[in-house]
Structure 1
Amino acid sequence: MSLRNLLVFIVATTIFLPAASAAEAVKQRRFDYKSLQQRAADFVQQQVTAPENGRIEVIASGLDPRMQPKLCANDLQLSIAGNNELDSYSTVEIRCEGQQLWRTYVPVRIYEYRQVITAAGSMMNEHVISAGDLQLREVNVNNLRSQYYTEPDQLIGARIKRRVSAGDVISARDTCLVCEGEAVTITATSGNLTITATGVALADGLQGEAVTVRNQRSNKALQAHVSGLNEVKVGN
């Protein structure tokens, strides 16, 4: 090789090899624990739908902050681990396929927030609920273990069964229009004919809900719908 050609070769490799190395480095994307958790949260967020008058919050965690960043030249592949259905506690599997073959698992929590009925002030046992007793407040409904309500009309006129503090979510355990074990007026309607009788409620119920009551005269149990305080209706 002549001196001239040797000089050309040296210059060419000096110019182009670092450029090739830089291009290779661009392809090798780095993912630290924060970026992997964010990828998992975004993946789940795209699959859930916020409830009416509510919102969804997705939080991913569980990866060790000391984890060495992972490299991947290809697009990350995400799925729910084990092909399980998505629920409030899920795990996202993140995979890199290709030369840098690896996978990691990210725990994800899904929080559902809704505007629910809460107590505007303290209410004692036997108190009959009015509109002024109620207020809407955004609540994480994942933590609620009993039926909750979203419309004031569902509770107005109902009776408090146990003390409720200001700010508490009012649940099915706290109230009833018709209360188990208490006397009710049964109204049966057929065409233009209306008959009333007395009975005993065998379950709690709120406006419009179906409850079982026992006719005191016949001792028969029947299905009825709550129509008011201590009142149920049978038939149309």
Structure 2
Amino acid sequence: MFRFTLMILSLVCSYSLADNNYSKEIEKFAESLVFDKYQETFEITGEQKLYIKAIPITDRVTFSKCLVPLQGHIVGDKIKSKTAVKVSCLDATPWDLYIRVKAQILIPLIISSRPISKGEILSNKNIELIYKDKSRVRGSTFTNAQALRGVRLKRNISSKKSIRHKDICYVCEGDKVTITANKSGLIIKASGIALSDGNIGSTVRVENSRTQRIVVGTVYALKEVQVTF
């Protein structure tokens, strides 16, 4: 009797596993339809990633394994953040099943890997690269960690927060900077002290360390300011 009970339990488990595996097969089929449609409809750049994932079929839904190839189409023939896909079986015991498939464009995003305090220098020790749903990214953010290495933070940031332009300065007030001037094709370099904060492309006031003259220049690299005469 004990052996018979074990055999029945084993058969039940095997049947459940088969059902679960077939559900996954149907989900993958729905995902492939959305993937192909997305590729036809939208352009994906090199740095972006396409994330396609079907919402799992609930255990409450019952259906038999289809004996012929599955058929399917996207409801409304449009891709949405959650696209409805109709999957059909057309064998002797036909059935229809509607599945929701998430479709997201993921973009690279630099975030804090731990809490970072105002004044800290950004490096591989406190920032990391993740991919996030493009529709959920707001503001001016960074996609390349290399562009932030050596940059100083202007405010406290908690863990797992995106690094924004307003949070950092390539040239910070009080920094020792290199002043580059281009005069009649002649490039002159001098040392100076920044009197204001700035990021790439913005203007800052700088005091020449030798002459004490105050000039206004454009930030073009980390702790480097360009002045035009």
Normalised TM-score (structure 2): 0.51
Deviations 1:137-179 (A, max 9, x none): 5x34125445554543201232313212355443445323268
2:72 maps to a residue whose letter is L
Q: CA RMSD in A?
A: 5.0
Q: Which residue of 2 aligns with 1:66?
A: 60
**1:103-122 mapped onto 2 (5 Å cutoff):** 103-110=96-103, 117-119=110-112, 121-122=114-115
How much has 1:41 moved relative to structure 2?
2.7
**Cα distance in structure 2, aligned partners of 1:229 and 1:157:** 10
Aligned match of 2:8: none
Structure 1 unaligned runs (5+)? 1-30, 216-223
Structure 1's 77 and 193: CA in aligned 2 closer, same or farther, altered over 3 A?
farther
Match of 1:152 in 2: 145
| Aligned-pair CA distance for 1:192 | 0.9
Q: Which amino acid aligns with 1:153?
A: Q
> Is the aligned partner of 1:81 residue 2:71?
no
Does residue 144 of structure 2 align to residue 131 of structure 1? no
Look up the equivalent residue of 1:37 and give its one-letter code. E
- Corresponding residue SS for 1:37: helix
Out of 125, 132, 143, the residue aligned to residue 141 of structure 1 is: 132
What is the SS of the residue equivalent to 2:163?
coil
Count of residue correspondences: 183
In structure 2, how many angstroms separate the alpha carbons of the residues matched to 1:190 and 1:76? 72
1:38 maps to what in 2?
A: 28
Contact 2:178 2:223 in 1 (8 A): no
Alignment match of 1:92 (pick from 72, 85, 92): 85
* Alignment check: 8 A CA contact 1:185 1:199 kept: no
Distance 1:102 1:162 in 2: 58
Judge conservation of contact 2:109–2:162 (CA < 8 Å) in 1. Answer: yes
Identity of aligned residues (%): 21
Say if 1:92 and 1:105, in contact at 8 Å, map to a contact too: yes
1:160, 1:175 within 8 Å by CA — same for their partners in 2?
yes
Secondary structure (helix, strand or coil) at the match of 1:162 reads: coil
Q: Which residue of 2 aligns with 1:177?
A: 170
Task: Work out the CA distance in 1 between the residues paired with 2:163 and 2:170.
Answer: 14
Q: Which residues of structure 2 form unaligned runs of 5+? A: 1-20, 206-217
Distance 1:98 1:160 in 2: 63
CA distance in 2, matches of 1:78, 1:199: 64
